[in-house]
Amino acid sequence: MTTATKALATSRDLAAELIFLTRALKAPTLRESAGRLAERARAESWSHEEYLAACLQREVAARDAHGGEGRMKAARFPARKSLEEFDFDHARGLKRDLIAHLGTLDFVAGKENVIFLGPPGTGKTHLAIGLAIRACQAGHRVLFDTASQWVDRLAEAHTGGRLQAELVRLARCWSSTRSATFPSNPKQPTCSSNSSPAAMSEPR
């Protein structure tokens, strides 16, 4: 067997092995990007560590993107709304810097609630969904429902003898501590900060 033939056989063996290993790891993005990144690594004289880091970065980024989408589907939002799309001109009493701060999700780490209060049509649901989507994208599990539907869900669990199990499941997404109120125009949404957004409800 010539040197060229041996090199070709080795290349095929490595390709097959990479396919097998990436399937075993359930890493399709790694499988797709490994070859292209290898060519770039050779052209730019990357170290082995740089090549490995680039491959893993592609896989992690893809998993984060897919995971966020999966969490958003599991949350069962009535619509997709982002904080960036919120019309502050319509809700002039609401402070942009307050919403921007909530968008950092610092209150999640602090295990605090965020409650939006106000008359219909002032954007409470939009803001709740916007924050919840941010939480999904940051890797948090989210459940979305109206207040009445939360009551119905817990009542059904109580009737079926599953209340404790349901509370444990919800506790993985929701915790409650003290509250601090941020006043604004009574005709506009009022924001009260008080828990994690992993479960959000908005009364109709």
Distance of alpha carbon 28 from alpha carbon 180, whole angstroms: 46
Pick from 187, 78, 183: which is nearest to 122 by CA?
Answer: 187
pLDDT score, position 155: 93
Mean pLDDT by 10 residues, the chain (204 residues): 48 80 87 90 92 89 79 87 89 87 88 83 89 86 83 90 87 44 43 43 35
* DSSP-derived pairing of the beta strands 176-182 and 190-195: antiparallel
pLDDT score, position 10: 54
pLDDT score, position 41: 92
Distance of alpha carbon 57 from alpha carbon 192, whole angstroms: 38
pLDDT score, position 112: 83
pLDDT score, position 47: 93
The H or E element that residue 15 is part of is helix 3-24
Q: What pTM does this model have?
A: 0.57
> Token pair of 16, please?
């097959």
> Token pair of 81, please?
């709304």
Nearest 5°: phi and psi at 136? -60, -45
Contact assessment for residue 201 and residue 152, using Cβ atoms and an 8 Å cutoff = no
Q: Which residues does 139 contact at the CB level (< 8 Å), separation at least 6?
A: 64, 67, 68, 71
Q: Which residues does 194 contact at the CB level (< 8 Å), separation at least 6?
A: 112, 113, 114, 115, 176, 177, 178, 179, 180
Contact assessment for residue 183 and residue 125, using Cβ atoms and an 8 Å cutoff = no
Amino acid identity, residue 42? R
**Domain 83-201, CATH 3.40.50.620 — does that match?**
no
pLDDT score, position 173: 66
> Token pair of 7, please?
């090199």
pLDDT score, position 62: 81
pLDDT score, position 134: 87
User: How far from 30 is each of 19, 66, 76, 155, CA to CA, in Å?
Assistant: 10, 14, 30, 46
Residue ranges matching CATH 3.40.50.300 in the chain: 83-201
